[in-house]
């Protein structure tokens, strides 16, 4: 299997659980809960990604 290359982008549309937990400054379990509650989970084959825009919108709604 080929290793996924790490690319630097300004504002990614989607992130994996590692980057989502880093972005939210929380653990993997909490990041998964937030991603699923936000409806941001995207499954492509075996890969699970989370929509950054949906997570931000969800957190903004919680903050109000």
Token pair, residue 57, equals 């919108």
Cα–Cα dist 33/39, whole Å: 10
7: confidence class by pLDDT, cuts 50, 70, 90: confident
SS3 16: coil
Q: What is the pLDDT of residue 49?
A: 97
Token pair, residue 36, equals 């699923």
Q: Where are the domains of the chain?
A: 14-63
Chain segment 11-64, per-residue pLDDT in tens: 899 999 999 999 999 999 999 999 999 999 999 999 999 999 999 999 999 998
Give the bridge partners for 14, in sequence order: 51
């Amino acid at each position: 299997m080929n290793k996924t290359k790490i690319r630097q982008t300004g504002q990614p549309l989607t992130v994996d659980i590692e980057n989502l937990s880093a972005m939210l400054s929380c653990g993997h379990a909490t990041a998964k809960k937030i991603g699923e509650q936000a409806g941001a989970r995207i499954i492509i084959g075996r890969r699970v990604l989370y929509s950054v825009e949906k997570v931000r919108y969800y957190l903004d709604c919680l903050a109000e």
